[in-house]
Copies of this chain bind each other. A is one copy, B any other.
């Protein structure tokens, strides 16, 4: 069996308490004794047992990560990437991340995530939209919360958000810089804050460049920002028979659908129409042409969430900070200068 603190104490001829104090580098212990005890610790290859520590200190060393089932389906890589970010950063911070999913319409009849009931996490990261009931139930237990990519209507929590507005602005400005002035905007689920913020950025960019906003260039009546709805939107747009030289799709999935439609109609990207997406998913590089897009730093969002959480857990920081993640324009081959 591996050594316990008792073994160290016995071998070093000190009390168990002394060993513990040495481990925590307590000033009460002389440097001589520290040296002696540390040597013994090394000799016995002693390491404090997590559960024992956790029991007495009421600290599990774990952080919970909660996301709804539908947001974490196997085909949806967005929150997966955020989760991986938390894993990366957690290792830096000497924490472990425990993952669980909840039903998106969680209410008091559901049972709480096991790691909360068992008091196995010191704090919880909530990624994406979760039910108000879940939030309130966790709050009741006084477990620190950090939100990622969602912010509950009421309350004042630390949160990590995407700068969607700036992204919409950048994407549109890029097209404008390429001398486009007939720029379409295509979206699904415009009621979602992230999507509508991108739309606001689009409109702001037009405004700043004195390009009139034309509702005919906007297709935002699709239910969900997925590939097939991108396809449909492009169809609707082109059926209007108006001049379009560039399309800003609210995310890459829709952009892929748009591209598919354009190809079928033998419309060349980017020479006939420039196309820009949003998110920067893996698949973009394999596309033909590779998609110009706005990169959302998904992994970094997870990293920031853990940083925020550890600050809170260390009491270094109690006020609720809000972090706005910068987005980045990634120019690939689906956009080009507009030829007059």
Cα–Cα, bound, A114→B84 (Å): 19
In-complex Cβ contact of A51 among B54, B98, B141, B281 (8 A): B54
In-complex Cβ contact of A118 among B48, B84, B91, B118 (8 A): B48
Contact check, B2 vs A141: say whether CB atoms are below 8 A apart. yes
Cα–Cα, bound, A224→B281 (Å): 24
Q: Name 27 A/B residue pairs within 8 A (Cβ), A-sorted.
A: A47-B117, A47-B119, A49-B55, A49-B119, A50-B60, A50-B115, A51-B54, A51-B60, A51-B120, A52-B55, A54-B54, A54-B55, A61-B120, A62-B96, A74-B88, A87-B99, A91-B100, A91-B101, A96-B96, A96-B99, A96-B120, A282-B283, A283-B285, A283-B286, A284-B286, A286-B286, A287-B288
Top 3 A-B pairs ranked by shortest CB distance? A51-B54, A283-B286, A50-B118
Contact check, B287 vs A49: say whether CB atoms are below 8 A apart. no
Cα–Cα, bound, A330→B106 (Å): 37
Q: Which residue of B lies closest to A291 (CB)?
A: B286
Interface size class of A (residues with CB under 8 A): 35 or more
Q: How far is the CB of A121 from chain B (nearest CB, A)?
A: 9
Please name all residues of chain B whose beta carbon is closer than 8 Å to the beta carbon of A99 when the two chains form the complex. Answer: 87, 91, 96-97
Does A32 reach chain B (CB closer than 8 Å)?
Answer: no
Does A187 reach chain B (CB closer than 8 Å)?
Answer: no
Q: How far is the CB of A298 from chain B (nearest CB, A)?
A: 10
Q: Which residue of B lies closest to A88 (CB)?
A: B74
Contact with B along A97-127 (1 / 0, CB 8 A): 1111100000000000011011110000000
Contact with B along A265-300 (1 / 0, CB 8 A): 000000000000000011111111000000000010
Please name all residues of chain B whose beta carbon is closer than 8 Å to the beta carbon of A91 when the two chains form the complex. Answer: 99-101
Q: How far is the CB of A338 from chain B (nearest CB, A)?
A: 24
Please name all residues of chain B whose beta carbon is closer than 8 Å to the beta carbon of A62 when the two chains form the complex. Answer: 96
Cα–Cα, bound, A282→B99 (Å): 23
Please name all residues of chain B whose beta carbon is closer than 8 Å to the beta carbon of A49 when the two chains form the complex. Answer: 55, 118-119
Please name all residues of chain B whose beta carbon is closer than 8 Å to the beta carbon of A114 when the two chains form the complex. Answer: 94
Tell me the chain A residues, 153-201 only, with Cβ under 8 Å from chain B.
Answer: none
Cα–Cα, bound, A39→B94 (Å): 39
Contact check, A288 vs B288: say whether CB atoms are below 8 A apart. yes
Does A256 reach chain B (CB closer than 8 Å)?
Answer: yes
Does A326 reach chain B (CB closer than 8 Å)?
Answer: no
Please name all residues of chain B whose beta carbon is closer than 8 Å to the beta carbon of A119 when the two chains form the complex. Answer: 2, 47, 49-51
Q: How far is the CB of A301 from chain B (nearest CB, A)?
A: 13
Please name all residues of chain B whose beta carbon is closer than 8 Å to the beta carbon of A61 when the two chains form the complex. Answer: 120
Does A77 reach chain B (CB closer than 8 Å)?
Answer: yes
